Amino acid sequence: GRFTSPHLVRLNERMAIDGEPVGDQQLAEVWADIEPILAMVDAELEAAGDTKLTFFEALAVLGFAVFADAPVDVLVLEVGMGGEWDSTNVADGDVAVFTPISIDHAERLGNTVAEIANTKSGIIKPGAIVVSSAQPTEALTVIEAKSSAIAERIAVYGRDFEVLDVVADMAGQRFSVKTLTSEYQDLFLPLHGEYQAENAALAISAVEAFFGASNRLFDDVLRVALADSTSPGRLQVVSRKPLTILDAAHNPGGAEVLARAMQKSFGSPETVAIISILADKDASALLAALEGTAKTFIITQSSSPRAIAVDELAALATSIFGEERVKTAANALTAMTLARQLVAENGAILVTGSITLVGDVLKNIQLNETDSEGNEE
């Protein structure tokens, strides 16, 4: 099973079994089973003067019920926010995995990397194995302290496992890795961005830790799994003419990674960027990190009610990029139409700044494909 959030187009994406999103009928049937229990809990909470379960808490219950009903042998469970007090943290993880920590959701998780790392380290359970990406020193210090107190052991990128080499091309990248058990040579990953190779090294090491550190994974299984990998909304190429890239970078750290990837993976094409940002994000720092990625920036507003208004975000973008580089569009659909008019012959269109904006664009693409199929029939 795999539980992730948020979704890009359909809620079903958040719960997958054997790589496939849970079907509508199964979701509806499991929801019908748990709805009376959730209603009872809500009533008890309100009687005690508390608020009812949140949307995400109810969704986590639904996910656990779906996976129990399957039943799954292994569950990959992504934390919703933070860690320590997130509703997913009722699960006892045998392996606790940490991707790079930076400032995000500061109003809830803390204003420093150390504070955020402290909240995230709450997912470490007694006797678990901890596997971490390379981290800022202040984050790693917190994770290592928590690990030494209750975990079985900790493995860190750059010390216990790492990518040995990466060769990128337009189809993805080939790389070799040193992991907890051995080395795997000449692996292919159909994803862009060097960080995806590091993510793969993290994932391989996490699986090794789950099975036992002395167990090397079968090469043929690993190669097929990596070659079949997808990462929707993460440097996702949805068109080659013009080159159109969707990346859900929505904080300064993600934007910095995206900027590097546009240079290293795509050769810094002349780019038209479409951007929408949610109001709870550090829009100024995010835009500044993207300054070198595009010649023209189209400011728009995603379908999320939390999206910054076009005029407000455009004013901020103009102060950073200059008036001549900033255009506006009311929504994702009109922004894409404008981008296609502005993009150079060998240029690129980049959609970024918000997961909801990427979802809007993907939904429009899928609707167009459905309409085309219908017309052809």
User: At residue 312, does pLDDT exceed 70?
Assistant: yes
**pLDDT band (50, 70, 90) for residue 362:** very high
pLDDT at 369: 60
**Span 356-376, average pLDDT:** 75
Residue 362 in 3-state DSSP? helix
Q: What is the pLDDT of residue 366?
A: 81
Closest-CA residue to 293 (of 357, 231, 347): 347
The Cα angle at residue 285 between residues 283 and 286, in degrees rounded to 5: 60
Share of the chain above pLDDT 70, in %: 95
| pLDDT digit string, tens, across residues 160-206 | 999 999 998 878 999 999 999 889 999 999 999 888 999 999 999 99
H or E segment to which residue 144 belongs? helix 137-150
Residue 235 scores a pLDDT above 60: yes
Q: Which helix (H) or strand (E) holds 187?
A: strand 183-189
* pLDDT value at 237 more than 80: yes
- The pLDDT of residue 105: 67
Supply the pLDDT for residue 169.
Answer: 80
CA–CA gap between residue 175 and residue 197 (Å, rounded): 7
Q: How many residues does the chain have?
A: 377
What percentage of the chain has pLDDT greater than the value 90?
A: 82
Instruction: Output the pLDDT for position 376.
Output: 41
Three-state secondary structure string covering 89-158: HHCCCCEEEECCCCCCCHHHHCCCHHHHHHHHHHHCCCCCEEEECCCCHHHHHHHHHHHHHHCCEEEEEC
> Look-up: residue for tokens 């997913």?
88
CA distance 145 to 124: 11
pTM (predicted TM-score): 0.86
| Res 377 pLDDT > 80 | no
Across 238-263, average pLDDT: 92
Tokens found for residue 220: 């043929």
Query: What is the spatial distance between Cα 84 and Cα 81, in angstroms, rounded to a whole number?
Result: 9
pLDDT band, very low/low/confident/very high, at 96 (cuts 50, 70, 90): very high
- What is the predicted pLDDT for the residue at 176? 96
* pLDDT at position 145 over 80: yes
pLDDT of 372 > 60? The answer is: no
- What's 307's DSSP letter? B
- Digit-coded pLDDT (tens) for 30-45: 999 999 999 999 999 9
What is the pLDDT averaged over residues 89-115? 86
Q: Please state, rounded to an integer, the average pLDDT across all residues of the chain.
A: 92
Computed from CA positions of residues 82, 278, 111, 154, in that sequence, does the dihedral angle turn out positive or negative? positive
